[in-house]
Amino acid sequence: TVILAAGAVSSPGILMRSGIGPSDELKRHGIKVKLASPRIGQHLQDHLQIRTIFRIPKAERYSTLNTRVRSPTHLARMAFDYAAHGSGPLAMAPSQLGAFARSNAAVPRANVEFHIQPLSLDAFGQPLHAHDAVTVSVCNLRPDSEGSVSLRSADPSAPPVICPRYLSTDADRLVAAESITLARRVMADSGVVDLLGPEEQLPGSEKTSLAELARAAGDISSTIFHPTCTVRMGRTDRDGPLTSTMELRGTQRLRVCDASAMPCITSGNTNEPVLIMAERLADLLCPE
């Protein structure tokens, strides 16, 4: 048995360069079609985090990492805490607070997740802002939007073409707008106001209608790095290229076991579900 586990971006690319995938896509890149499987690379789903940012005017009491990293004293303390105790900001995860919530009262169970960070920046990899601020990130746990992963060329070293198509459905745009409203409600809580006195920086308090908030969501969002479903399991080949045991239809003893095999994105982080999938496949292949 061969097990492919390269992830939701690379697994479909490996299959397509091996001649397994949508016929038109393979022929376009001069790849001989060994097995036509039209759904490979399709149905990409990801969690999109909407990164609202709030300035913290009361930073004399509670400064954020934005300004602490600019202080030699604070930097020295961070280094000492990490070297001596393995603690402090240098040892922490990016998000210090997480929570699940419903975007509106009509939703039967939690459909959004918060990640709150004591810092802010324009984009990942960019410097922290010079003023004190926090990022209140919200993501839709069960998006309807689907994208795709396709080949740029037959060259294995060429990066893939990733088209996530975030916020491409009315339902996802509504949840995005509601998520920003929910973040505002959290930061407008009397306890938070008394403690921090937050002032909205992004998307901007002047944006109030659902249409304005949905458009703004696309401007302040980024991936949360949960790509899934590009070689998904399905009841038939029309639903997905894999069987319920993660075997690629039309092949013998070729399995795909990573987030690409998920039939739909999970309502939360994807790492642990992939581990469970791997344990299940191990049980199938090596029964006691």
Contact 281, 246 (CB under 8 A): yes
- Which residue type, as a one-letter code, is found at position 134? V
The CA distances from residue 279 to 75, 261, 274, 283, in Å, are: 43, 14, 9, 6
User: β-pairing, 112-117 with 254-256?
Assistant: unpaired
Torsional class of 152: left (φ above 0), alpha (ψ -120 to 50), beta (otherwise): alpha
Q: Which residues of 100-123 are buried (b: 16+ CB within 10 A; e: fewer)?
A: ebebeeeeeeebbbbbbbbbbbee
Residues acting as catalytic residues: 226
Torsional class of 145: left (φ above 0), alpha (ψ -120 to 50), beta (otherwise): beta
The CA distances from residue 256 to 4, 37, 156, 238, 271, in Å, are: 5, 14, 19, 17, 16
> In the structure, how many helices (H) and strands (E) does the chain have?
8, 13
Q: Tell me how many degrees the CA angle 278-280-286 measures, rounded to the nearest 5.
A: 95
Residue 157 makes CB contacts below 8 A (sequence gap 6+) with none
Contact 147, 44 (CB under 8 A): yes
Burial class (CB in 10 A: 0-12, 13-18, 19+), 252: exposed
